Amino acid sequence: MAYLTPRYDLSLVAASVLIASFASYVALDLAKRVRDANRSVALTWWVGGSIAMGTGIWSMHFVGMLAFSLPITLGYTGLLTFVSWAAAVAVSAVALGLAGRGSLTSARLAGGSLAMGAGICAMHYTGMAALDMLPPIEWSAALVAAVILTLVVKPQPAAAVATLATRA
């Protein structure tokens, strides 16, 4: 079977790395703020932080997708692209919610890690499903399952954020 030859825009790859770095810094800073003693202030930081962190995670992935080009016309379905962003914001809310609670137990850390892995999978595959192109993507169920297993099982950066926040 013949495959389309991809190309990468290295300036967009670099932009994606910069976005990821900036979003990581912001997430670490926000993890401290969601622990504010004033509940309304902490809630405001949690909501704003979830949007900022989720948008950073999603933007890094989306800019990375924009760096990838094929010799065919590509487009994105608006609703699925939005759902992909919403998944990133939702998992960021979980991570910052963990950071805002008392001491972090191993069980909560494991649960948060599983939630982040599942949420990032949802964001990624929803974003891929949003691609509007002909020919369409041919999915390999075995490879998709392997990727999901890897994402859900490996330690997640959000768990590290939650751990650092409990020590701040």
- pLDDT score for 15: 96
Averaged confidence pLDDT in the chain = 83
Residues 12, 84, 118, 22, CA torsion sign: positive
Which pTM value belongs to this model?
0.80
**What pLDDT, in 10s, does the model give residues 51-92?**
998 999 999 999 998 998 888 888 999 999 999 999 999 999
Q: Judge whether 92 and 57 are in contact, CB under 8 Å.
A: yes
Q: Which amino acid is at 41?
A: V
